[in-house]
Copies of this chain bind each other. A is one copy, B any other.
Amino acid sequence: MSASSKAFNALGDPTRRAIFEKLQERPLAVVDISAGLPVSRPAVSQHLKVLKEAKLITLRTDGNKNIYELNREGILAMRNYLDKFWDDALANFKTLAENTEKENNTANK
C-alpha cells in the first residue's frame, strides 16, 4: 500500500477527518482531541493510529501527554499524487487524441 493510498484511506472516514481538522488549529493531546467528538477516547486512539501510519500526523510525548500534530509529509504525498495524476491524465488524453487523428487521416486516404 503506497503512502498516498494509506492517506486516502485514512481521510475516507468522517471521524478521522474531524480529528485531522481539529489538529489544523494546533497540536493537541489525546484528551483534547477527544473532547467534543461523539466517540469514546479509545476510538480516538485507534483513529490516531491510522492517521499516524498514513503519515498525516506525528506523535510527540510530553510527560504523560501524547501530543499529536499535523505531518506535512502525508499531506504533500496526497497533493503530489493528485497533481501528477491529473498531469498524466492530460498527457494520456493528448496522445490518445493524436492517435485517433492519425487513424482518421489514414482511413480517409
Residues of A within 8 A of B (CB): 5, 8-9, 11-14, 17, 21, 23-26, 70, 72, 75-76, 78-79, 82-83, 85-86, 88-89, 92-93, 96
Main secondary structure of the interface of A (DSSP, over half): helix
What are 16 of the A-B contact pairs (CB < 8 Å)?
A8-B8, A8-B11, A8-B17, A9-B14, A11-B12, A12-B12, A12-B13, A21-B85, A24-B85, A24-B92, A70-B86, A72-B86, A78-B82, A79-B82, A79-B86, A82-B82
Known: A24-B89, A26-B96. 16 other contacts (CB 8 A): A5-B14, A8-B8, A9-B14, A11-B12, A12-B13, A23-B89, A25-B92, A72-B86, A75-B82, A75-B85, A75-B86, A76-B86, A78-B78, A79-B79, A79-B83, A79-B86
